[in-house]
Amino acid sequence: MGMLRSLNQLHGYSVHATDGDIGKVCEFYFDDIRWGIRYLVVSLGRWLPGRKVLISPTALGEPDWEKRILPVSITKAQVESSPDVDTDMPVARQHEAELHRHYGWELYWSAEALAGAPFVGPLDDPASSPPETVNKGGKPFDAHLRTTRVITGFHIEAVDGVIGHVADFIVDDACWCIRYLVVDTRSWIPGRQVLVAPEWVERVSWETSTVYLDNTRKEVKNCPEFTPSSPVNRRYEECLYDYYGRPKYWRDGLTF
């Protein structure tokens, strides 16, 4: 198991190819089925101004956390010749396939990839159904694949009312799974933030910009408080899961 880290704090990390710096992390793509990070969005900055590329976490090497560097096992030439992506609209599944062929990455929605992928969310398998809609370019895409930039600010609604909004995400850097959503409750309880696990999410509505939980407002109000300046450790997680009476994702020494 890796460390739990804030995705907001990873913004601005330098991404280094095998032969030099290529740019900085500006956001992430994740899916709300398995709650896995599928791509880092990297702005190429001064090297190729105005261009952004997608990098799969499978290409990441050992990060240098002190220097804020994420090394990747690809070359600058591969990045420069990679398929263009418009991060302002949903990524077409066809584009994803082209991207994976270009780099030689395994398709994360293939049966083989899913068999070895950590299960985080409780919902249906995205590989079991075709893409649900099309983007502005008329190309089909996976409706569950969205960016952290888009979902940040979404309302968080308990079974009996709104409790706050999404402020950040806590990710496990070993598997690049989202372990928690950080909820800012300032509109309800000023100055307080709490964590909710993806398995407590019933659904995400992109139409209403809302994340629906199966918790009550009272449960969330009285749960252990999250302090952004303090790292999320196992003791805090134990308290959080015990408070809600939920099965722990690391039970029996396994992580899911």
Domain carrying residue 95:
4-116
CA dihedral over 249, 250, 254, 256, signed as positive or negative? positive
Looking at the structure, tell me whether residues 14 and 112 fall in a common domain.
Answer: yes
Last residue of a domain, one of 116, 139, 168: 116
**Which residue is listed with tokens 């302002």?**
88
- Do both 162 and 224 map to the same domain? yes
Residues 158 and 242 in one domain: yes
User: 57-89: per-residue pLDDT in tens?
Assistant: 999 999 999 999 999 999 999 999 998 877 766
Is residue 160 located within the same domain as residue 221?
yes
pTM tops 0.95: no
Are 142 and 130 within 8 A, CB to CB? no
Span 9-30, pLDDT tens digits: 999 999 999 999 999 999 999 9
Do 103 and 15 share a structural domain?
A: yes
Give 164-187 pLDDT, tens digit per residue: 999 999 999 999 999 999 999 987
Phi, psi of 117 (to 5 degrees): -85, 145
Of the candidates 121, 161, 166, the one whose C-alpha atom is nearest the C-alpha of residue 144 is: 121
Determine contact, residues 41/25, Cβ cutoff 8 Å. yes
In this prediction, residue 189 has a pLDDT band, given cuts at 50, 70 and 90, of confident
Q: Which of 66, 101, 116 is the last residue of a domain?
A: 116
CATH number assigned to the domain comprising residue 10: 3.90.50.10
pLDDT at 147 over 80: yes
Asked, for residue 102, whether it belongs to a domain, the answer is yes
Task: Quote the radius of gyration of the chain (alpha carbons, Å).
Answer: 18
Residue 46 belongs to some domain of the structure: yes
Tokens of 165: 């909004």
Query: Chain-wide mean pLDDT for the chain?
Result: 84
Confidence check: pLDDT of 1 > 80: no
Please report the pLDDT score of residue 133 as a whole number. Answer: 55
Residue 231 vs residue 134, higher pLDDT = 231
Tokens 């290529």, located at residue: 22
Position 109 in a domain: yes
Q: Are residues 105 and 24 in the same domain?
A: yes
Answer for the pair 22, 79: CB distance below 8 angstroms, yes or no.
Answer: yes
